[in-house]
Homo-oligomer: A and B are copies of this chain.
Amino acid sequence: MDRESKLVERIGRAFRLGSRHAHDAALRLGIGDDAAVISCDGKNDWVLSCDAFLEGVHFLAKTHPADSVGYKSLVRATSDLAAMGATPRYSLLTLAIPASRTGVWLDEFLNGMARAARYLKIVLAGGDTTVSSVVSISITVVGEIARGQAVTRSGARPGDIIYVSGTLGRAQLGLELLLHRKIRASGLGGRRARHSDRALQSVLQPHLYPKIQLALGTWLAKRRMASAMMDISDGLSTDLARLCAASGVGATVFPELVPRVPIPAELSKLAGLKFDPLKMALHGGEDYGLLFTVSPRNVKDLRAAPGFSLLKAIGEVTRGKSVVLMDKDGAKQRLEPRGWDPFRR
């Protein structure tokens, strides 16, 4: 189990011990999944999640545009609602910033976040602001879903097919290129450089301005097509391990089926970098695709899903607890969780 998951378990334990208020009739799903689920009225459940986005941890103030910080912080928080199949409704923003950033930086940050709010159709309902030495953002999102339809991480059964939506590793590629100085410097002048710059911008897009899978998530939840679901925020290897642990199952993944990012030859040459698309697809975080499992009897109905052409079956759920990669020759190796883990030392 990764360190972050262990810490979440520890928090849950601290609150369960000796408290008759740790359980609550209306709380349908508590600590440990993508989001909490609470009964609202007889017809609907509310889905709540929060997400931290911190300077120096999740973004660099000198590298990432303020507009991207605002946009991405809200989108990534809302991805946890997509992961449950819920429809976004409200958000609350906790914003701590240095006084020096209350000018243009804040305007651009708010513009980016307001743009994300329009894209997600989510309403900013409140928040809290204060100063701090670095930018520290926490966003709470509230979504709505028909009663009992929220898709958790814990329903995967042996024999289910494992799907991912979208290409994996795009955000990681964008991050690596953004951090690579040669590339950044290359955008400064010349016809060739300008062309590269446009190509670069489109490669950076998934890292700076990610899209999430709301339509797919709600479609899968409404039809009860997914036995388990979560978003891929920390990397497939880490997130699949979490889904399997929550469901008490294992998994076999076929690496040649994992949809990986094509590396534009021009950029690769320009950067003088070697990229490993499979590694980026297995361990790269922040793609915010959906990872979900489907019972074999439901697979044919998936064709009607929004964005069906972007869905890829990458393996299947197994008995036991191991998550393995199996190549074309049938050779197996353990798929270690090597995605983003803030507490890895």
Contact = CB atoms under 8 A, between A and B. Distances in A.
Interface of A: 4, 7-8, 10-12, 14-15, 17-19, 21-24, 26-27, 30-31, 33, 35-36, 38, 40-42, 46, 48-52, 54, 56-58, 89-90, 92-96, 99, 102, 106-107, 110-111, 113-114, 117-118, 121-134, 136, 138, 140, 142, 342-343, 345
Contacts of A11: 93, 95, 110, 124, 127, 129
Contacts of A131: 57, 342-343
A74 to B, nearest CB: 11
Contacts of A134: 133
B94 A130 contact: no
Contacts of A7: 102, 106, 129
A41 to B, nearest CB: 3
A122 B136 CA distance: 25
Given A10-B110, A102-B7, A114-B14, A24 B89 contact: yes
Contact of A343 (B33, B49, B102): B102
Contacts of A102: 7, 343
22 contacts: A7-B129, A10-B110, A14-B113, A14-B114, A15-B113, A15-B114, A15-B123, A15-B124, A18-B118, A24-B89, A27-B90, A31-B125, A33-B126, A41-B42, A49-B126, A50-B128, A52-B128, A54-B130, A57-B96, A58-B130, A94-B94, A128-B138
A133 B138 CA distance: 16
A10 B103 CA distance: 11
A160 to B, nearest CB: 25
Contact of A123 (B27, B54, B343): B27
A257 to B, nearest CB: 31
B22 A123 contact: yes
Contacts of A114: 14-15, 17-19
Given A10-B110, A114-B15, A140-B140, A92 B36 contact: yes
Given A11-B95, A11-B127, A102-B343, 18 more contacts: A4-B129, A7-B102, A7-B106, A8-B129, A15-B114, A18-B114, A21-B117, A21-B122, A30-B125, A31-B125, A48-B90, A49-B126, A49-B128, A50-B92, A52-B129, A54-B96, A99-B345, A129-B342
B21 A92 contact: no
From A4, A31, A94, A125, residue with most partner B Cβ within 10 Å: A125
A335 to B, nearest CB: 23
Contact of A52 (B18, B96, B124, B343): B96
